Structure 1
Amino acid sequence: MTAPSAVAAAHSPAERADRGRTARARAPRSGHGLFDPGPDRFDPVDVLTRQSAARVPELVPIRYGRMLESPFRFYRGAAAIMAADLAALPRTGLEVQLCGDAHLLNFRLLASPERHLVFDINDFDETFPGPFEWDVKRLAASLVIAGRANGFPTRQQNKAVTTCVRAYRTRMRRFAGMRTLDVWYAQDDVDRMRDLLASSGDPSVRQRAERAAAKARTRTYLQAVDRLTRVTPEGRRIAPDPPLITPLRDLLADAPDRREETDLHAIVESYTDTLSSERRHLLRRYRIADTARKVVGVGSVGTRCWILLLLGRDDDDPLLLQAKEAQESVLAPYTDGERFDNQGRRVVTGQRLIQTSSDIFLGWTRVLGLDGRQRDFYVRQLRDWKGIARPETMDPRTLALFGGWCGSSLARAHARSGDPVAISAYLGGGDRFDRALPAFAQAYADRNERDFEKLGAAVRAGRLTAESL
């Protein structure tokens, strides 16, 4: 596969636009509305069980329990299922660095290193090069699934999708006419979000967004420290909440050989080599005080995830890092993207390509696990100014508005790593692509509901075990 940046650099704008228009023969824009895998489609439960084989066995039932809470929760954990479905469809060949799991809850408010509030993608576990439309389709289907959960009629679900896809297309068109550095520096900060809100003409939506931004600023690392740690006679330590939070000292209570504890404490030293020199200097002002295994998310449940409590001057000078296991992307079997010798590096490289402002402590490492196997991890701060959407509280207008933000933000992410000229030329100035996506999103939401039922049936039949926590 030729890197998208190399394609852009080697050809004139006219040639790049022609490449985009030529892609319509491989994957007609109206054809993106089709999804009918037929009776020979794979068993979705088999996909999930294959993933679970490499995860912590005692945590896998929690994953299934969370996925069975609702079709939307199932969808969040089913990126591998959708990757296999998307791979069977015609593809444009217009490659970008995909998020790989671009559902609406993976877009949120975040703090930039300069302490500005920005709106961006926040999950890169599955990031990998691939055709741009895969991310767009996963985002579109998530809007329909969220709309169904709220009881919205089909017309309003479809409006959220078309608003999202139109925002993607129109912003990509603007990027196609911009200088390369201007595309790279583009950012969805609070000022831009205020402008978009002002154009909505709805004061209540504007006020709600301002409250969300204010709340995000309160979700600092210190709030996470207060919730997850306590001061003991030995100093500040992570508070147990098994099985969701289990300190390493408890996991190793009966282990005569505590080599693993030494290896996990060495995670900071090994990962600092992936940071820039000034950030290595900053991190070395801290010492590691405690470590715990944490259950996170829905699709990630069962992968190894560690909280690292570091202290600077004293117990009131804390830093919480999260070291999360990075396994092969669910997209990797279906594309020709670059292979990395460390999956944590893959995640970090993808995140730095996609995000405009990444966490200052973002890096990767390899650690000897409790089972004696080497495992790849990426590391970042546990929480810093994160504002998370709550689709269950949205009315149809708000869902469509939020979908537009997500679509616009996704276009910015794709324009950084792909060729905005070719993608824009493929999409064109009309709404053919916009009108096709609701049909796909509805068909995939139907399939997602059937897959959700299949997981439930597998649990009821005793094929799998689910646990609600």
Structure 2
Amino acid sequence: MPAAKHTPPPTPQERAALGRKARTAAPRSSHAEFVPARDRPDVVDVVEEQSANRVPELVPIRYGRMTESPFRFYRGAAGVMAMDLADTPRSGLRAQLCGDAHLLNFRLLASPERHLMFDINDFDETLPGPWEWDVKRLSASLVIAARANGFGTKERAGIVRAAVRSYRERMRTYAGMTNLAVWYTRFEEQWVREQLTEKVGARGRRRWTEAAEKARTRDNLQAFGKLTEVVGGERRLAADPPLIVPLTDLLDDATRVRLEGQLTRLITRYGRTLQSDRRALLQQYRPVGMARKVVGVGSVGTRCWIVLMLGKDDEDPLILQAKEAGPSVLEPYCGAGGHRTEGERVVAGQRLMQATSDIFLGWERVDGLDGRRRDFYVRQLRDWKGIAEPQLMLPEGMRAFGELCGATLARAHARSGDRIAIAAYLGGGDVFDRALAHFAELYADQNEKDFDALSKAVRTGRVKAESA
């Protein structure tokens, strides 16, 4: 029987030619365009549709947070932007997307080796799709944040162009690297600090140092001290309604016992998705308390549970977060991801895009939870997480931070997409950089209109909003 013939993979030269050819279908300058579709749905209807499957009593908190500012609205409107991006030019080249790559989803976090890293942090919407969409979401977020700080038009354009240039130049660097070299690339905090030294003043360097030091204190012990209390000699999760509500305060006894059993099984069964050594570590802990938690802006109203686990004694804590995973907002425009559950989609995307991930990151599907089948992904609640504060940034600081985000996003895309083709498409000039600076301004205008529409809906009573 003759041996099967194998089609040789395309050469680097062929991959580069593919990228350059893509400019014909989608010229780089065309990415400057943004015109809302004529039949664009009412944005309040879009936001409400996303809220339909969420915990009803928490939805007003989501609207309350989204109407605090245009940037807060943007954080909760990944689905709105996905709808808009579907009508924009695309090169035809794909990568694993974050799906919500705004600037606050780039932050400090811990590696399993206990090194402080800079990476993407949010993967609820991750899915393969047009790589340009993540870059556009990052770019628009920078303009929206810069407007909130009162930065001028030229300053905003400089910030976006620097971030996109960083993405483009990094992708061109990755195109020349070996597969393993790309895979092993990571941005440790010390390297980031060195990069920032020449780009920000003493104030910026001081803020970065403070942020890194603070991140190292935001660990499981800090969360343990902040989120728990001793009642009747027993350690339990402390109530902070409506943001944190223990099951004992949330449900009647019969319903609580049933839900506790379901969540205990979730934690036990999800361990099968961990590496064997990490599964063995998980088995050394026992659950002693559970609570519902409100998280983020766009995620408010999704079912999110925190589980207090104790190890060798009452001072050996592990706090896990089990967060509901629904379909990605990208799915209507990019297709399904091919995973068996939405939790697996989130975890697989995170592991593919991040340089290093939480050792307790895994997933599970639960039947009968809240009366229906639901997918969850699980991770540590807090493990050395440091988040940017754009409202405190000067123009040079936001520019430097944008460059760091652009480089990080390029590395994430290079792990899954055709980095050689993408790099060839982008080229060595600044055509794409300038195009996205223009796009970001146009989309920031649209975001402000959408923010005003939701704010009006709150004022007129069409939707209810609460502060929390």
- State the 1:258 CA deviation: 3.4
Query: Any conservation in 2 of the 1:172–1:412 contact (CA below 8 Å)?
Result: yes
Residue 10 of structure 1 is matched in structure 2 by 9
Where in structure 2 are the equivalents of 1:171-182 lying within 5 Å?
171-182=170-181
Residue 115 of structure 1 is matched in structure 2 by 114
- State the 1:217 CA deviation: 1.0
Where in structure 2 are the equivalents of 1:167-246 lying within 5 Å?
167-200=166-199, 202-246=201-245
Query: Any conservation in 2 of the 1:164–1:404 contact (CA below 8 Å)?
Result: yes
Per-residue deviation, residues 35-88 of structure 1 (Å, max 9, x unmatched): 011543221111111111110011001000000000000000000000000011
SS at 2:358 equivalent: coil
Residue 398 of structure 1 is matched in structure 2 by 397
- State the 1:255 CA deviation: 4.0
Residues 27 and 455 of structure 1: is their aligned pair in 2 closer, same or farther, counting only changes over 3 Å?
A: same
Query: Any conservation in 1 of the 2:200–2:396 contact (CA below 8 Å)?
Result: no
SS at 1:60 equivalent: helix
SS at 1:10 equivalent: coil
Residue 77 of structure 2 is matched in structure 1 by 78
- State the 1:370 CA deviation: 4.8
Give the residue type in structure 2 aligned to 1:399. M
> Aligned partners of 1:256, 1:264: CA distance in 2, in Å?
12
Give the residue type in structure 2 aligned to 1:303. T
Residue 89 of structure 2 is matched in structure 1 by 90
Residue 330 of structure 1 is matched in structure 2 by 329
Give the residue type in structure 2 aligned to 1:84. M
> Aligned partners of 1:257, 1:230: CA distance in 2, in Å?
20
Give the residue type in structure 1 aligned to 2:104. L
Give the residue type in structure 1 aligned to 2:359. I
Residues 256 and 323 of structure 1: is their aligned pair in 2 closer, same or farther, counting only changes over 3 Å?
A: closer
Residues 337 and 263 of structure 1: is their aligned pair in 2 closer, same or farther, counting only changes over 3 Å?
A: closer
Residues 354 and 257 of structure 1: is their aligned pair in 2 closer, same or farther, counting only changes over 3 Å?
A: closer
Residue 3 of structure 2 is matched in structure 1 by none
Q: Is 1:48 equivalent to 2:47 in the alignment? A: yes
> Aligned partners of 1:269, 1:23: CA distance in 2, in Å?
48
Q: Is 1:60 equivalent to 2:83 in the alignment? A: no
Structure 1 runs, 4 residues or longer, greater than 3 Å off: 201-204, 254-258
Where in structure 2 are the equivalents of 1:57-456 lying within 5 Å?
57-200=56-199, 202-253=201-252, 255=254, 258-368=257-367, 370-456=369-455
Residues 301 and 256 of structure 1: is their aligned pair in 2 closer, same or farther, counting only changes over 3 Å?
A: closer
Residues 242 and 281 of structure 1: is their aligned pair in 2 closer, same or farther, counting only changes over 3 Å?
A: same
Give the residue type in structure 1 aligned to 2:143. V
SS at 1:430 equivalent: coil
> Aligned partners of 1:25, 1:336: CA distance in 2, in Å?
24
Residues 256 and 169 of structure 1: is their aligned pair in 2 closer, same or farther, counting only changes over 3 Å?
A: closer
> Aligned partners of 1:256, 1:71: CA distance in 2, in Å?
39
Per-residue deviation, residues 352-402 of structure 1 (Å, max 9, x unmatched): 000011000000011245521111000000011111000000011101110
Q: Structure 2: where are the runs of 5+ without partners?
A: 1-5
- State the 1:253 CA deviation: 2.0
> Aligned partners of 2:260, 2:280: CA distance in 1, in Å?
24
> Aligned partners of 1:78, 1:348: CA distance in 2, in Å?
22
Q: Which moved more, 1:457-466 or 1:85-94?
A: 457-466
- State the 1:265 CA deviation: 1.5
Give the residue type in structure 2 aligned to 1:310. M
> Aligned partners of 1:31, 1:82: CA distance in 2, in Å?
18
Q: Which moved more, 1:152-161 or 1:367-376?
A: 367-376
Per-residue deviation, residues 316-356 of structure 1 (Å, max 9, x unmatched): 11100000000000001101353322100000000000001
The count of residues paired between Structure 1 and Structure 2 equals: 463
Query: Any conservation in 2 of the 1:143–1:160 contact (CA below 8 Å)?
Result: yes
Residues 245 and 369 of structure 1: is their aligned pair in 2 closer, same or farther, counting only changes over 3 Å?
A: farther
SS at 1:258 equivalent: helix
Q: Which moved more, 1:368-377 or 1:25-34?
A: 368-377
> Aligned partners of 1:387, 1:245: CA distance in 2, in Å?
21
Q: Structure 1: where are the runs of 5+ without partners?
A: 1-5
- State the 1:221 CA deviation: 1.3
Residues 390 and 288 of structure 1: is their aligned pair in 2 closer, same or farther, counting only changes over 3 Å?
A: same
Query: Any conservation in 1 of the 2:143–2:444 contact (CA below 8 Å)?
Result: yes
> Aligned partners of 1:10, 1:83: CA distance in 2, in Å?
32
Query: Any conservation in 1 of the 2:127–2:331 contact (CA below 8 Å)?
Result: yes
SS at 1:374 equivalent: strand
Query: Any conservation in 2 of the 1:112–1:118 contact (CA below 8 Å)?
Result: yes
Give the residue type in structure 1 aligned to 2:455. G
> Aligned partners of 1:125, 1:270: CA distance in 2, in Å?
21
Per-residue deviation, residues 253-302 of structure 1 (Å, max 9, x unmatched): 25468322211121111100101111111010000001100000000000
